[in-house]
Amino acid sequence: MISNFVFDINKPIAIGADHAGFEYKEQLKQFLLNLQFNLQDFGTYSLDSVDYPDFAHPVALAVEEKVAAFGILICGSANGVAITANKHATIRAAICWINEIAVLARKHNDANIICIPARFVETAEAEKMITSFMSTAFEGGRHLNRVNKIPFGK
């Protein structure tokens, strides 16, 4: 298991994908299970064509309701799942395509869902990004004021 995990290790990791991310999700699940993490898989469970909001909303709700430590969403470009998840007021879903972006999403934006574009990121890079995402703390400081302004109307 990741030794410097910054999320609550007593909670599962919420994961979901559409059909474009299904096989990718299954590979990442195996990676996380090998590290002995508890997962909550919100689907999809096959390559059959589906609608990404049907999987992004449940992952976002699990994170929002603090049932899950954080979320992982996967689709072809990651745009659809990120847009959907970010409709939830307390969610900060970040599209990540290289490790440095995953680190900055945590450090500067306090992201709580990582969104991965399955068509553009190799699995090994995704594993590295998830490991960094799980072990990078939010810096706070000057970034806290900015993050607090994210919910509309504040």
DSSP string, 5-47: --S-TTSPEEEEE-GGGHHHHHHHHHHHHHTT--EEE----SS
Phi and psi at residue 87, in whole multiples of 5°?
-75, -15
pLDDT, position 150: 77
Let me know if 108 is a catalytic residue.
Answer: yes
CATH code reported for the domain at 13-148: 3.40.1400.10
What's the CA gap between 124 and 50, in Å, rounded?
26
All structural domains of the chain with their residue ranges: 13-148
Say yes or no to pLDDT of 152 above 70.
no
Residue among 19, 88, 108, 143 flagged as catalytic: 108
Residue 3's pLDDT is: 64
28 near 41, Cβ under 8 Å?
no
Residue 90 has pLDDT above 90, yes or no: yes
Which residue is catalytic, options 57, 75, 96, 115? Answer: 75
Whether residue 129 is predicted with pLDDT greater than 90 in this model: the reply is yes
Cα–Cα distance for residue pair 95/100, rounded to 1 Å: 12
- Between CA 38 and CA 102 the distance in angstroms is 21
User: Is 75 annotated in the active site?
Assistant: yes
